[in-house]
Amino acid sequence: MQEGPRFQNDAERECARMFDYHGVAWEYEPHTFPLEVSDDGCVLVAFTPDFYLPEQDLYVEVTTMKQSLVTKKNRKVRRLRELYPDVRIRIFYRRDIDALADRHGLRQRA
């Protein structure tokens, strides 16, 4: 039996549940984008969005409310957009995931 992906946090898990609930096809961390490369071609900084929605051709990054992480991810998403203008990406903040999970009764209860 194949196990599902190992999510980094509950927000990602809840996001996947919402995609499943709504019948949205998704892939977990399928692609890494180099954001900074050294002169000799080594990747110095990279970004792997949390989800890819193939039917929408859209990457989704889920972030927590910890401000230092939000700022860092926002910076990486801006850089990704600069380097890969044809790549579509959206950030889902924790509060967005919480609101949707509550609305659809999808939050895992302890």
Nearest to 51, CA basis, from 3, 89, 23, 77: 89
Residue 80's pLDDT band (boundaries 50, 70, 90)?
very high
> Would you say residue 42 has pLDDT above 90?
yes
Residue 1 vs residue 72, higher pLDDT: 72
Residue 107 has pLDDT above 70, yes or no: no
Tell me which residue of 33, 106, 70, 85 sits closest to 62, measured CA to CA. 70
User: How high is the pLDDT of residue 2?
Assistant: 53
| Phi, psi torsion values for 34, nearest 5 degrees | -65, 130
Provide the 10 A C-beta neighbour count for residue 73: 19
% residues pLDDT > 90 (the chain): 51
Please count the other Cβ atoms lying within 10 Å of the Cβ belonging to residue 76.
20
**What's the longest Cα–Cα distance across the chain?**
50
E strand or H helix at 104: helix 94-104
45 pLDDT band, cuts 50/70/90, is very high
Task: Kindly state the DSSP code that residue 109 receives in the 8-state scheme.
Answer: P
Average pLDDT, the chain: 86
